[in-house]
Amino acid sequence: MKILITGISGKLAQQVAVELCARGHELTGIDRRPWPDAPAGVQLLQTDIRKPEAEELFRSVRPDAVIHMATVSHLTTRRDERYRINLGGTQKVFEYCEAHRVAQALFVGRHTYYGAVPDAALYRTEDEPPMALESFPELADLVAADLFAASALWRFPSRITTVLRLVYTLGPSLHGTLASFLAGPRVPMILGFDPLFQFMHESDAVAAIILALERKLRGVYNVAGPQALPLSELIRVTDRTPTRMARVLHPFLLGRFGLPRLPTGAVAHIKYPIVISDRAFREATAFQHAHGEYQTLAAFRAASPPPSSAGTPHAPETGHDEPIPIASPSPRG
Amino acid sequence: MAAASATLRSRTPVLPTVVDETSRPAQPHAVIGETDPTLPLAEEINARMARLDISFNAHGFDAYGVSRSSLAAGMRVVGWLYRHYFTVRSRGLEHIPPRGRVILVGNHSGGYAIDAGMVIASCFLELDPPRLAHSMADRFVNRIPFLSELASRTGQITGLPQHALQLLRDDRVLLVFPEGTRGTQKLFWNRYSLGQFGTGFLRLALRTQSPIVPFAYLGGGEAVPTIANLSFLGKLLGVPYIPITPYLLPLPLPVGAELRFGSPLRFSGTGEESQPVIQAQVDVVKAAIADLIAHGLADRAARPPPPVAPRD
């Protein structure tokens, strides 16, 4: 099968591409960033999706399936740029898919779509609407991209449209929203709040994306891995130090003293849980995650041992693969 | 309404639901809740935690975020209050099934949800095997620092229909006060009245085919004798209201309390019935609770009052 991946130089997309190559698929990728050590056989076009060259690639390659992973998060990109990439890019990709008769378009979204609010249920299903956009405008472009991608289900009924909403991914690549949040020596928490965090091993996320592609899944699906854990437990197991501070102090302390920077709206994400139900996805694909919650945290911990200095943000060394066993947890109660 | 009793399942053993304590054969644990002097509370709680029917992961967390260690710590507090402060006597515990889904439905009173804590303590300390009752917490709970953390680590999650449905499908014990905060706002002289009942719990019972065990909590209104509720002060603090007592602070008095569980009620239906049908079934539950309260008060009148309790 000829597969085109947008945003192929992203860490998760790279893993998807490598795995699909190994399965004998023909891979093409588009990304503004380079991928120097891409496997032979992956055709990479280094450009912006919205440029004519990108459409030309659709025209010449005529892919059977497109995996759209060219989205950026608030942590890395400015607001106007995010709108252009996330919403504008998604719009273009789906236009190209329709114009060039791509049989399946798969959008990889995020579970933060649902929003962190105090009175939302745990285990939110695909039917639930996005919330808290007014308090976290940084998320609006991703939510819009997700909804726009899902609209292809009725706009282009002859194509297979798949929208996956993945929980945070964690693993040796040290890439992703949660990995960045946990990167430093100190991890901020809000005093008196300890929400559940739902995450999965990045190789399980790769497996889920490939499964959705190969099963030609149609519809919107939540994708999750093992059981959710409280944030304090993530911090404890990864050997970080929780910094519990009152909500009012966050604007003054975040981004300093080895704490990560967070936009104001993102504070809700360390106050209230976003826990999704992946029952529909598991029923449709028989997906089973291979890594448990502690195994996933151990993989992250091994690749990113706790930084010793508290003053500077942690810059993980690449290729550091020396396994560091997790300190066995102290008996609790 | 006659339709209500007609829709009740024929296999329900005792209906109408007047619970006559005198006609029931004497049970060895008809009144339990006495302290076992041989076992310290902490040890008893640890032993019971090990027998709790909840699948914790290797580090003691379950799928709803309940933490084994937080739950044990919480139980030590409510357990002490249950045994030594409010000296709660629980009756009719045999009506709570030892396993499987069930909804405990009762009256609220006493300023804030001490009664919920005592029902949770009763289910944990008195039932064999112990069970964790999940109360359906008011929405404001999740917004309050520490209370949010405590509630979610001990399984007291927000009272949303989705949560209730999931918990029942997982065969857990659901604890519902259909009066909501209207119940805890009752003033001292209304403490044994029943306010308007929400009907959501009954639709859930029908959808999940769960039995409803009615209960009455007596003594809540005496423990926190509310004479006024300050909603303005409450709003400032992020809660619905602050109860005010004759001694101003809403601290509970060490008043003996009693918990009476009645026979399980089973209703037939899908949960999609019209509101009048559901309301009639809710009224049956409400009447059962009113009966339990009436019997409790009658029994209490026949007994000499406990030494520290203020006289009615």
Closest partner residue to A333 (CB to CB) among B61, B69, B162 is B69
Q: How many CB pairs under 8 A join A and B?
A: 79
Residue B308 is predicted with a pLDDT of 59
The answer to whether residue A330 scores a pLDDT higher than 50 is no
> What gap in Å lies between CA A163 and CA A105, rounded to an integer?
8
> What gap in Å lies between CA B191 and CA A323, rounded to an integer?
62
Torsion of CA A118, A121, A122, A126, to 10 degrees: -120
Residue B82 is predicted with a pLDDT of 95
Strands (DSSP E) contained in B150-304 are 173-176, 212-218, 228-230, 242-244, 258-261
E strand or H helix that includes residue A256: none
Structurally, chain A folds into a number of domains equal to 1
User: Which tens digit of pLDDT belongs to each residue from B19-57?
Assistant: 333 444 434 343 444 445 567 888 999 999 999 989 999
Closest partner residue to A294 (CB to CB) among B59, B146, B152 is B59
Q: Which residues from chain A sit within 8 angstroms of residue B143, using beta carbons?
A: 118
Burial of A78 (0-12, 13-18, 19+ CB in 10 A): exposed
Question: What is the residue whose two structure tokens read 């007609």?
Answer: B6
The answer to whether residue A77 scores a pLDDT higher than 90 is no
Interface test with B, best of A233, A235, A236, A291 (most B CBs within 10 A): A233
Give domain status of residue A296, yes or no.
no
Q: Verify whether the Cβ–Cβ distance A121 to B158 is below 8 Å.
A: yes
The answer to whether residue A106 scores a pLDDT higher than 70 is yes
CATH class, range B31-302: alpha beta
| Residue B241 neighbours by CB under 8 Å, 6+ apart | B181, B185, B229, B230, B231, B233, B234
Give domain status of residue A47, yes or no.
yes
Give domain status of residue A28, yes or no.
yes
Contacts of B224-229 with C-beta under 8 Å, sequence gap 24+, read B224/B110, B224/B111, B224/B112, B224/B114, B224/B250, B224/B251, B224/B252, B224/B253, B225/B188, B225/B253, B225/B310, B226/B110, B226/B111, B226/B185, B226/B186, B226/B187, B226/B188, B226/B250, B227/B187, B227/B188, B228/B187, B229/B185, B229/B187
| Cβ–Cβ < 8 Å for A213, A101 | no
At residue A156, the 3 state secondary structure works out as: coil
Total residue length of chain A: 333
Sequence spans of domains, chain B: 31-302
User: A285 or B303, which is more confident?
Assistant: A285
Interface test with B, best of A194, A249, A291 (most B CBs within 10 A): A194
User: Which tens digit of pLDDT belongs to each residue from B54-90?
Assistant: 999 989 999 999 999 999 999 999 999 999 999 999 9
Residue A103 is predicted with a pLDDT of 95
Which pLDDT band, with edges at 50, 70 and 90, does B302 fall under? confident
The answer to whether residue B303 scores a pLDDT higher than 80 is no
What backbone phi and psi angles, to 5 degrees, belong to B192? -105, 10
Q: Which residues from chain B sit within 8 angstroms of residue A192, using beta carbons?
A: 144-149
Q: Verify whether the Cβ–Cβ distance B149 to A194 is below 8 Å.
A: yes
Give domain status of residue A308, yes or no.
no
Taking residue B28's Cβ as centre, other Cβ atoms within 10 Å add up to 6
pTM of the model as a whole = 0.84
Q: Which residue of A has its CA nearest to B145?
A: A192
The answer to whether residue A92 scores a pLDDT higher than 80 is yes
Supply the CATH number for residue A65's domain.
3.40.50.720
Give domain status of residue A80, yes or no.
yes
Give domain status of residue A318, yes or no.
no
At residue A279, the 3 state secondary structure works out as: helix
ipTM confidence:
0.82
Q: Which amino acid is at B226?
A: T
The answer to whether residue A151 scores a pLDDT higher than 90 is yes
Residue B7 is predicted with a pLDDT of 40
Q: Verify whether the Cβ–Cβ distance A118 to B152 is below 8 Å.
A: no
Q: Which two tokens stand for residue A165?
A: 């909403």
Say yes or no: A333 contacts chain B, CB-CB below 8 A.
yes
Of B221, B225, B218, B219, the closest CA to residue B249 belongs to B225
Q: Verify whether the Cβ–Cβ distance A121 to B162 is below 8 Å.
A: yes
Q: Which amino acid is at B180?
A: G
Q: Which residues from chain B sit within 8 angstroms of residue A230, using beta carbons?
A: 61, 65, 67, 152-153
Q: Which residues from chain B sit within 8 angstroms of residue A190, using beta carbons?
A: 145
The answer to whether residue A318 scores a pLDDT higher than 60 is no
E strand or H helix that includes residue A31: strand A26-31
User: Which tens digit of pLDDT belongs to each residue from A198-251?
Assistant: 999 999 999 999 999 999 999 999 999 999 999 999 999 999 999 888 877 877
Q: Which residues from chain A sit within 8 angstroms of residue B158, using beta carbons?
A: 118-119, 121
Residue A308 is predicted with a pLDDT of 65
Q: Verify whether the Cβ–Cβ distance A227 to B143 is below 8 Å.
A: no
Give domain status of residue A206, yes or no.
yes
The answer to whether residue B164 scores a pLDDT higher than 50 is yes
Residue B38 is predicted with a pLDDT of 60
Residue B36 is predicted with a pLDDT of 53
* DSSP letter, residue A125: -
Give domain status of residue A265, yes or no.
no
Of B176, B180, B256, B261, the closest CA to residue B219 belongs to B256
Residue B273 is predicted with a pLDDT of 94
Q: Which two tokens stand for residue B61?
A: 């967390």
| Cβ–Cβ < 8 Å for B160, B130 | no
What backbone phi and psi angles, to 5 degrees, belong to B267? -115, 150
